[in-house]
Amino acid sequence: MKISKKLVILAVAILWVIFSLGYIGWDIWSDFKVNQLNNAARSGYSQAILDVGAQAEKCQEVPLNLGENKTMSIVSVECLKQAQEAQNNSATEQTPVKK
């Protein structure tokens, strides 16, 4: 049985198309997975920032861990302004008026 040159070329072309489609599909799937992971990470970061902001707006001190042995506490600037105004008002009320 003799295999014709035409049949060999056809078989190689079919295998090349199958391999190419498989590679393209794998590449698209890999990009999709990476994009999904990046989107999930961005969403998590955004949610964390929103949660910290919501806690800080309640005039609560929010502790943040910045890595090994580094921490920071934050509070909303509006809360500091309110505290400063309250302190100024109480100081004004306590100061006797000179006649």
Q: Where are the domains of the chain?
A: 1-57, 60-99
| Residue 10, burial from CB neighbour count under 10 angstroms (0-12, 13-18, 19+) | exposed
| Closest by CA position to 77, among listed 44, 49, 47, 53 | 53
Cα dihedral sign for 89, 91, 93, 96? Answer: negative
Nearest to 58 by CA among 76, 34, 85: 76
pLDDT for 16? 98
pLDDT at 96: 59
**Residue reference for tokens 């003799």:** 2
**Residue 97, pLDDT above cutoff 60:** no
> Best-predicted range by mean pLDDT among 22-26, 76-80, 94-98?
22-26
Q: Give yes or no for residue 80 having a pLDDT over 60.
A: yes
Q: pTM of this prediction?
A: 0.56
